[in-house]
Structure 1
Amino acid sequence: MTHQRNRNPGLITTFLMVSKMRLLGNWSLQETVHAEGPEHFRRFRLITYYILTPAQIQYRPALPMERQRLAQCMPVGHMTKFIITYPTAFWKQKGFSGEIVAHPSKSCPFGVTFDATSSSGSPALVGFIAGVQACYWNNREMEDRRHAVVSSLVKYLGLEAASYIHYEEKALTLKSLKLLRLVNQKPSEKRRLKCQKDWAQEEYNGGCPVNIMVPGMLTFYHPGLRKPCGRIYWAGTETATQWCGYLSGAVQSGQRAALEVLADVSPDVLSHGELQEVRGDIIKAPSDLSRVWDHTGGFTTSSRLLKSLTIMAVAVGGAMFLRKAGLGKKLSQSFFLVVIQK
């Protein structure tokens, strides 16, 4: 298959699903190949779908090992979101907020629900099935999940929870959006609508709400979260410093990454404050581990603090175990105080 070649390095291309990326030595340009489209030649790349495996996007030459480790050891969470619309916000009429925090089980799929009434006044509840429960319930039939969710809502909110409007699996389609609009216009309609979204089925994120570092990663590899790899810059809600995992975090990360690119391409267009912001936000990763572990086997200040916090956590756990074992409140408190003082 012959690909078209776009060699205008000044052109900004958006919404490009990248499958390969190759660094061209002479001009320091990268060649990006769409899985089913033309080749593009650009000076810079801004990657917004964040932690991807090498099977999803191929880099030539390979990314630094620090970045590869992040991709290997930052799995994304597993969460399913459902929304149920109702003719009336009966939970408010009964004095409830609509917020439920439940212990997930084989009878109750969700862990939390919230009032999701729209700004136009369409009553709805939104809930989340997460973690192990998401794995368990997503292997069940659609009707099993629907029945379990509705039964649990009836348990917490009353029989009115069973009188929802309509059921539909997965994301809203154009057809279901039209149905929602019709229901809003005719509140007396008793057609039922339920929408369910499983982010694990999404091609470019594979889960929700955010990537999580496995134990040990934060200590050594966190500087690489936002650190550019040559002319490749990183954005996405996982790189946000506030509201990580939310749309607000995605917007913040995009603004930060755009400033980083401008600081490299045309620093004159940025104000002094913006340049300071960029220089302070790009965290330099240590070239070796000597800053956190010296060659004599001793801990530096940051690692010593981490060690102290670990000892404190063990102390608290030990005190709780002693109290639960019935060895006495006084003994457990003494044990806790002795360890903390050391």
Structure 2
Amino acid sequence: IWQQQLARQTAWRVSAARCGAGTRTRVVETLSRSLHLSPRTASLDQHRLASGFCRTDQITGESLSGAEIKDICDSLKENSVRLLSVRGCQLSDRDFGRVCRGVAESHSLAQLNLNLGVVSSIGRTKQLADALRANRSIQTLFLHGSPLLDAGLVALNTALSTHPSLVSLDLGDCMLGDEAVRLICGMLPPDGAKSGLRELTLSANPAISTNGWARLAVAVAHSSQLRVLNLDYNPLGDQIAGMLAVAVASSRSLEVLDLEGTGLTNQSAQIFLDMVENYPTCLRVLVLAENAISPELQQQISDLLSEGEEEDDKDGEAHGNAQSSREKIAWVPHSTPQAQRQCCIHK
């Protein structure tokens, strides 16, 4: 019976891929009735068939059934999923292991979102590490809101640092400390001989000490590839901000720095102002919202960053290239899709 259902499902998918969007919707409705699919599984199939092939699986905050897990795993093994998000979903340890095995076998998966507690134990962390060691396609990994602790990052370190494609990593609110930062610094190589992260999020990890942040600042200063660094909602203060300003001035690649809600004052803002005014940097976006910084200082920084962007555009035109400086950059950060060279002020 199952083989017959599978054959019918495959036939429906092939038929749907050959017809228009409206017909695809009707095909999916018929498919869900004939195969007795759950509403959410049918919705997943509808999204896939509307595109002609499987591209994304996105589910948020749901309790996933065995049938839905099987559907996800089958798509991973068929190399038909590019983005998989089970953000905040509840699934058993057994089902989590099944998903990890699917991730390990997938050659198409580029983005994996396990935010909000999906990786909830050291056992799951080790299963994910095994999957990442086998996988070669993932470019972006979201683990925001996972209780990893330093021990979790130790378990993941080898898989993350040796992954050939990973360029964006979100470890925000993962209860990390100084040992984790030490390992993360190894993912920010000082030269192009080794692949490394282009985007790193460490938001809301208050257990990291001054020494840990200082170590990260040194790594950022020498990184040849990091373009986006999100440190928002950490208790950094002016001392760490000063170290980061030096790192930004030294960096050959950093374009976006998010320091929202990090306990900064006008002292930090003045240092950043002096840096932007007197030293050429790659910085395009500086987020200083939710800090005790005067609007006047923020506006001065914003104006200087905007002037720098205009100068870049003029230089491009002078060399016969009418493209803007943003358009010249082939890689766009995941966290700031509309990033511009400016100081972001949130009111």
* TM-score of the superposed pair, with normalisation by structure 1: 0.22
Structure number, greater radius of gyration: 1
- Larger fraction in strand: 1
- Larger fraction in helix: 2
Considering Cα pairs closer than 8 Å and 6+ residues apart, tell me whether 1 or 2 has the greater RCO. Answer: 1
